[in-house]
Structure 1
Amino acid sequence: MRPLPILLALVPLLALPAVAGSVTADSINDHSAALQEALARVPRGATATRSQCQSIQVGGFGLPRWRCTVWFSEAPAPGAPASGQPAAPATAP
């Protein structure tokens, strides 16, 4: 098995910058509801890479509120410049 051809095939993927971000959602119901709401807010085509949920005590009754954050990354749109800057307008020949 030759690893060099495999590595060379992966090199073009390294040139594509990934766009990363996060979304956060709260729920008074439970952990699952907060996580599902956060996942629903991830942009279409993006990949969820990590999630974290925490219980927050609200008021004097000891009732928890759940807050979940989901981190995501997405590849740029086809034809987008690698620098993240808008493409320059095309000029007629």
Structure 2
Amino acid sequence: MDEAAANVALQSDRMIQKAIHSQFEGATAITIVHRLNTVIGDSDRILVLDHGKVVEFGKSWELLLLEYKGWFKGTVAGTGPENEAALMKVAKDLWARRHL
């Protein structure tokens, strides 16, 4: 699915993502996104491509903990300190929910 909510408000995006997850619960979904909010808290794994080549693959929290500044981590950092902190919290909370 190529970012079904690319041109809608954030609240509408959340509603669309909730509908997708409820309709396809238990299924494998591959979603192409550009909004970090969409991918960071809802995806089991994140695949980062650069010019068609895989540069990173893993869980959002794992990618954010990498010691080097990877693609995903750099993109999150590029949103600014406040947004970065909020996105880090979302990823950490998702990790905690799935690993407790």
| Between structures 1 and 2, the one with greater helix share | 2
Which TM class, normalised by the smaller chain length? under 0.3
Q: If each structure's strand is expressed as a fraction of its own residues, which one has the higher value?
A: 1
TM-score, scaled to structure 1: 0.23
Q: Which has the greater radius of gyration?
A: 1
TM-score with structure 2 setting the length: 0.22
Higher relative contact order (CA 8 A, sep 6+): 1
